Amino acid sequence: MNNISKSVLAVILGGGAGTRLFPLTAARSKPAVPIAGKYRLVDIPISNCINSNINRMFVLTQFNSASLNKHIKNTYLFSAFSTGFVDILAAEQTPDNPGWFQGTADAVRQSLRHIVNLDFDYILILSGDQLYQMDFTDMLNAHKDKGADISIATIPVNEREAPEFGILKTNEESLITSFIEKPAKELLPQWVSNTGSEMQAAGRNYLASMGIYIFGKEILFRLLNEVHPNATDFGKEIIPDSIENYKVASFQYDGYWTDIGNIYSFYEANLALTQDIPPFNLFDNTKTVYSRARMLPPAKISGTTLEKTIISEGSIINASKIEQSVVGIRSRIGHGTVILNTYVMGNDYYETIEEMQQDISKGIPRLGIGERCYIKDAIIDKNCRIGNDVKIMGGSHLENTDHPLYTVKDGIVVVKKLAILPDGFVI
For 391-426, what is each residue's pLDDT tens digit? 999 999 999 999 999 999 999 999 999 999 999 999
240, 116: one domain: yes
pLDDT surpassing 70 at residue 100 = no
pLDDT tens digits, one per residue of 65-82? 788 888 888 889 888 888
Strand pairing of 206-216 and 166-170? antiparallel
CATH number at residue 385: 2.160.10.10
Mean of the pLDDT values across residues 237-251? Answer: 90
pLDDT surpassing 60 at residue 40 = yes
pLDDT tens digits, one per residue of 171-219? 988 999 999 888 999 999 899 998 988 998 999 999 999 999 999 999 9
261, 392: one domain: no
Whether 335 is covered by a domain: the verdict is yes
CATH number at residue 231: 3.90.550.10
231, 304: one domain: no
Residue 405 to residue 73: CA distance in whole angstroms: 31
Residue 39 to residue 57: CA distance in whole angstroms: 18
119, 219: one domain: yes
Whether 118 is covered by a domain: the verdict is yes
Say if residue 156 is preceded by a cis peptide, omega within 30 of 0: no
pLDDT of residue 340: 98
Cβ neighbors of 210 (< 8 A, separation 6 or more) are 127, 130, 132, 152, 153, 154, 155, 253, 257, 259
Whether 116 is covered by a domain: the verdict is yes
Q: Which residue has the higher pLDDT, 212 or 20?
A: 212
pLDDT of residue 28: 86
Whether 288 is covered by a domain: the verdict is no
345, 213: one domain: no
pLDDT tens digits, one per residue of 267-316? 999 999 999 999 999 998 889 999 998 999 999 999 999 999 999 999 99
Question: 318-343 in b/e burial notation, b at 16+ Cβ within 10 A?
Answer: bbbbbbbbbbbbbbbbbebbbbbbbb
338, 409: one domain: yes
Number of domains in the chain: 2
Domain containing 373 equals: 300-421
pLDDT surpassing 80 at residue 91 = no
362, 266: one domain: no
Mean of the pLDDT values across residues 115-130? Answer: 90
185, 310: one domain: no
Whether 292 is covered by a domain: the verdict is no
pLDDT surpassing 70 at residue 97 = no
Residue 423 to residue 389: CA distance in whole angstroms: 6
145, 79: one domain: yes
Whether 358 is covered by a domain: the verdict is yes
304, 268: one domain: no
Strand partners, 259: 130
353, 231: one domain: no
pLDDT surpassing 80 at residue 89 = no
310, 200: one domain: no
Whether 286 is covered by a domain: the verdict is no
The pLDDT-based confidence of 19 (bands split at 50, 70, 90) is confident
